[in-house]
Structure 1
Amino acid sequence: MITIVEGAERERHSTLIDEMFRMRAAVFADRLEWDVIVTDGREIDRFDAEDPLYLLSLDNQTGALQGAVRLLPTTGPNMLRDVFPVLVPGGAPASPLIWESSRFAVNPAAFNACERAEANHVVNRTTIELLCGIVEVCQRAGIEHVVSVFDARMARIFRTIGCTFEVIGTPARIGRTMTYAGIFDMSEAMRERLGETGRLLTPVLATVEPRRIPHPRHA
């Protein structure tokens, strides 16, 4: 199940959001060893102050956090434009119909205690559920495309599960890995491919009021 939290509503979901920031520290600083700032065990950057939309994958039975991703409009501050301009020498996309996804993470606590096969299942299902959630949110909001920065490992995962993308700009080695900027089509065909791969044929979004998903004109 995917729960949507707007940046402006973080106080209403303070426990989950705090857990998300701690998860991000565990993933990006501890496991991936990215050059990120961790304060008091939480990874929070300047884009978290830009009123983003958070998608949180929660266990259907326990409500435990399994993964998360952040969405921002490309018409304002975003990571591709402001942190990774080297990937898009011609300029990053900026349109009310294009959002950016970032800080995509699966919670290590959700699979660390599992056997290897079960751990892979948890990771794969959570990954696909988050991607399905992105497509569903974008379709409700009238967003046509999502851009994202990702490494070679994620590129392989995307191709394996049918999450097609087009590389934009120029890939570059950042740190120890090749890094890409890609654009993803938020079409029904994309949702169907992901749903078939992950056996998630019904909507993954928790029931939300329409006002909770901003219209692109206001993004």
Structure 2
Amino acid sequence: MLHIVETHNRLSFSLLVEDMFALRARVFKDRLQWDVHVEDGKEIDVFDAADPLYILSVNDVTGRLEGSVRLLPTTGPNMLRDVFPVLLPDDLVVESPIIWESSRFCVEPDAARLGEGRIHRVTTELLCGLVEVGLRAGLSHIVSVYDARMARIFKASACPAEVIGTPTRIGRVMTYAGLFEISETLLQNIAATQPTRENAELRDDLPALRVA
């Protein structure tokens, strides 16, 4: 099940949001060894104060958070412009009310291991959720900064990206900036990589979005 969390309903999901920050610490700091700041077991950065939208994947049976991803409009603070401008040519700026940025895509490590050898259900659910949010918000594209690991996941999930700029090694990993065109076709293609009952009913689980 997906929950869409924005500023206006964040208090209703406060415990899940705290779980999300803890999950991000386990994934990005402990597992992937990224250079991120963790305090009190939680990974929180400046962009979490920029009025983001979160997509949270929660297990229907246990109520446990299993994955999450963050969305920010490119008209405000975002990671591509403010942290990774090196990925873009000097004359290229990605800034539009109909292009949002996704970041901090993560899946609970224990759940991910259960899906070894195929795209895990939570990954598919989150990717479908990103596209569905984009469709409901009237977006043309979602832009993202991602590493080679996520590039392989996108390819296996029938979620192709248009790489913009030049892939660059940042730290220990090759890093990309990519544009994903939002369409019903993309949503159907991602869902078809793992045709399950959860994915077939995914769209009905999403509430109406508050879009500025």
Q: Common fold, TM-score beyond 0.5?
A: yes
Q: Aligned to 1:160, which of 150, 156, 160?
A: 156
Letter in 2 for 1:202: A
Question: Does the 8 Å contact 1:23/1:107 carry over to 2?
Answer: yes
* Residues 57, 5 of structure 1: alpha-carbon distance in 2 compared, 3 angstrom cutoff: same
3-state secondary structure, aligned to 2:120:
helix
Using the TM superposition, give the Cα deviation of residue 4 of structure 1 relative to its aligned residue in structure 2, in angstroms: 0.5
In the alignment, which residue of structure 2 is the partner of 1:68?
68
Paired residues, number: 209
1:207 offset after TM fit, Å? Answer: 3.9
Q: Distance in 1 between matches of 2:8 and 2:117?
A: 33
Matches within 5 A, 1:30-49: 30-49=30-49
Percent identity of paired positions between Structure 1 and Structure 2: 56
Q: Is the 8 A contact 1:129 1:198 kept in 2?
A: no
Q: Shift in Å at residue 19 of structure 1? A: 0.3
**Distance in 1 separating the partners of 2:45 and 2:13:** 19
User: Offset of 1:59 from its aligned partner?
Assistant: 0.9
**CA deviation after TM superposition for structure 1 residue 71, in Å:** 0.3
| Structure 2: gaps spanning 5 or more residues | none
> Which residue in 2 is equivalent to 1:196?
192
Q: Structure 1: which 5+ runs fail to align?
A: none
Secondary structure in 2 matching 1:184: strand
TM-score where L is the length of structure 2? 0.92
Map of 1:9 onto structure 2: 9
**What SS is found at the alignment partner of 2:168?**
strand
Contact 1:97-1:145 at 8 Å conserved across structures: yes
**1:51 positional shift:** 0.8
Question: Counterparts of 2:144 and 2:123 in 1: how far apart (Å)?
Answer: 15
Name the counterpart of 2:94.
Answer: 93
The structural deviation recorded for 1:169 is 1.2
Alignment of 1:117-156 (within 5 A): 118-120=114-116, 124-156=120-152
1: distance between equivalents of 2:19 and 2:76? 26
What amino acid sits opposite 1:154 in the alignment?
A: M
Deviation at 1:87, TM superposition (A): 0.3
Give the aligned residue type for 1:57: S
Deviations 1:133-185 (A, max 9, x none): 01111111111100000011111111122111100111100011110000001
Is 1:57 aligned to 2:27, yes or no? no
CA separation in 1, counterparts of 2:32 and 2:107?
A: 12
CA RMSD of aligned residues (A): 1.7
CA shift digits 1:175-209 (9 cap, x unpaired): 11110000001111101110110214524256454
Change in 2 beyond 3 A, CA 1:186/1:48: same
